[in-house]
Amino acid sequence: MFSVTRLLDVAEHDIAGLLAHVRAAADATGARHRLIEPTLPGARNGGDVLVHLRFDTEDQWHLVAGDFTKALKDHRITRVNGAGYSGTASLNNDTSATVYRSLLLRVSPHTSADIVARFEHDLLSMPRYVPAITAWQLSRVTEPVGATPWTHVFEQAFTNLDGLMGPYLMHPIHWAVVDRWFDPECPEVIIRDRVCHSFCEMRSPVLG
CATH number assigned to the domain comprising residue 27: 3.30.70.100
- Would you say residue 208 lies in a domain? no
CA 28/CA 71 separation, integer angstroms: 11
pLDDT given for residue 128 in this prediction: 86
pLDDT given for residue 172 in this prediction: 73
- Would you say residue 196 lies in a domain? yes
- Would you say residue 207 lies in a domain? no
- Would you say residue 96 lies in a domain? yes
- Would you say residue 181 lies in a domain? yes
What pLDDT, in 10s, does the model give residues 111-151?
999 999 999 999 999 888 888 899 999 999 999 999 999 99
Q: Any bridge partners for residue 105, and if so which?
A: 152
The domain tally of the chain equals 1
- Would you say residue 93 lies in a domain? yes
pLDDT given for residue 93 in this prediction: 72
Q: Which domain holds residue 60?
A: 2-201
The alpha carbon dihedral of 169, 175, 181, 183 has a sign of positive
Write out residues in the chain with pLDDT < 50, as ranges.
Answer: none
Q: Which residues of 87-119 are buried (b: 16+ CB within 10 A; e: fewer)?
A: eebbbeeeeebebbbbbbbbbeeeeeeeebeeb
- Would you say residue 20 lies in a domain? yes
- Would you say residue 177 lies in a domain? yes
pLDDT given for residue 171 in this prediction: 67
First to last CA, the chain: 9
Indicate the pTM of the whole model.
0.93
